[in-house]
Amino acid sequence: MGALPNILVVDDDPAILRFMRDVLELEGYLVSTGNSGLDAITKIQAGLKPDLVFLDLVMPGLDGIQVLQQLRVIDPHLKVVFLSCVSDTHKVAQVIRLGAQDYLTKPLVWHEMNAVIRRCLSSNQAELHKRPASCVEDLGNGNFFLAVSPALCKIRSQIDLLAKVPAAVLLLGETGTGKEVLARLIHKVSPRANRPFLKVNCAAVPAELLESELFGYEPGAFTGALHVKPGKFELCNKGTIFLDEIGEMPPPIQAKLLHVLEDQRFSRLGSNSLIQVDVRILAATNMDIQGAMTAHRFRRDLYYRLNSFVLRIPPLRERKEEIPFLLQHLMGILSERYARPPLPFGGTLMEACVNYFWPGNVRELENFVKRYLVLGDESLATAELRTATPDVALGLSNHLSRHIASRPDESVGKQALNGLKSLAHGAIEEAEAKAIAATLQQTNWNRTRAAAALEISYRALLYKIRRYDIQQPRNYA
């Protein structure tokens, strides 16, 4: 039988210490207590090794933040849950950055404490790495969240903490990494889960219509405005609004959004009356925000309001351990959607998938599974990935980055910001098309010999000839 978990409770309120000691000991835990931050640090330095620490945020002398900073030096892996009488957005952001496991608001409720304890004491990296493919959170409308890699498991634990407070969150990551999925997950696990979740793609709505889309308008506000139309912020009252591609929002609308973030009030177009709302704002972009601020395309004050907390989603190539799980889950979803039997991923195909660069991230991976399901040819799917190797893609990407760095003019900078990975992928496809055309010419358009020379299947060659529209010269007709 293993040792009983040891929990350290640190609080300057004797009543809280007595309550937590009594409750936790009744549940079978070993309990140690500390009446100050210094007391807790001294005990841990003396050899106490708690499995979990409950730490009061506001205490005389060293406060909880300062204590955690010192505990991180002593034991970087120590699991800490904060206790506080108030839900302070700024403080929550701080404790998340410092790696706290959770944040509980007093008065404490046992079922909430119990859930936190179970999660903290049962979660370790070995278990997270072995997370089964069935451990998927369904978010509705075909959206799901799957975390296997340490990076996404960490983000998932941060979301549990972020969801409790109405802080603005800025989601950063390449195209297709799943920023909208994270936004939906934050909403689902928050107290606003039963309220509206609305998405606005700031790049898809014309600039002249975006303001009325967000804030609504009154009759006569502009030509054609014949009746009152509430905007997304009104419709989303008490809920969550997701502003996708916020980097594309025009500066005048950024100024109005800033006021909404500051006081949750705005006016419709054509009206001077202020409307009060309670809306949580989540925003996402794949652009270089720092570069956009330097170029005066994005307001610094808006950025500082939005980044109460920032979640950076790593690209798929940096969390390859998730690829097999994503492939299997997407195959299940798509086979049901298209009423086709699911196809297996053989060892060769799976290896090609794991080693591929995936410049389009999860979105590209989903499209790949869709093509494989429809065409039903494993050798064709494998060839598609192997002819565009990750090493070539990475090399092209790095070469292009160096080229852009040596030419820092604005036009090249925009090119880098808007399409670095797609440019690399396009260069790979161009090279592949040229290699196929050259091989066909060398074999006098004998497709069987060309497929053998290229080490791909005959069917894969025909597919790529059609895909790249490679035409046979007249002299070989």
Quickly state the pLDDT bin for 422 (edges 50, 70, 90): low
What are the tokens at 154? 């960490």
pLDDT at 307: 84
Asked whether 198 and 235 are in contact (CB, 8 A), the reply is yes
Q: Which CATH architecture has domain 137-312?
A: 3-Layer(aba) Sandwich (3.40)
Q: Check residue 125 and report its DSSP letter.
A: H
Residue ranges covered by each domain of the chain: 6-122, 137-312, 317-476
Please state the rounded mean pLDDT for residues 11-32. Answer: 92
CATH topology of domain 6-122: Rossmann fold (3.40.50)
Please state the rounded mean pLDDT for residues 313-339. Answer: 93
Predicted confidence (pLDDT) at residue 394 exceeds the cutoff of 70: no
What are the phi and psi torsion angles at 390 (to 5°)?
A: -65, -35
Least confident span in 18-27, 52-61, 166-175, 403-412: 403-412
Quickly state the pLDDT bin for 243 (edges 50, 70, 90): very high
% pLDDT > 70, the chain: 86
The candidate with the shortest Cα–Cα distance to 190, out of 259, 278, 266, is 278
% pLDDT > 90, the chain: 48
Q: What value does the mean pLDDT of the chain take?
A: 84
Cα 240 to Cα 182: distance, rounded to the nearest angstrom? 13
pLDDT at 365: 95
pLDDT at 390: 44
Predicted confidence (pLDDT) at residue 474 exceeds the cutoff of 80: no
Domain 6-122 matches domain 137-312 at the CATH topology level: yes
C-alpha pair distances (Å), 379 with each of 287, 327, 462, 466: 36, 16, 12, 17
Predicted confidence (pLDDT) at residue 82 exceeds the cutoff of 70: yes
Cα 162 to Cα 164: distance, rounded to the nearest angstrom? 5
**How is 138-202 classified by DSSP, letter by letter?**
EEETTEEE---SHHHHHHHHHHHHHTTS---EEEE--TTS-HHHHHHHHHHTSTTTTS-EEEEET
**pLDDT tens across 162-195, in order?**
888 888 999 999 989 999 999 999 999 999 999 9
Predicted confidence (pLDDT) at residue 417 exceeds the cutoff of 90: no
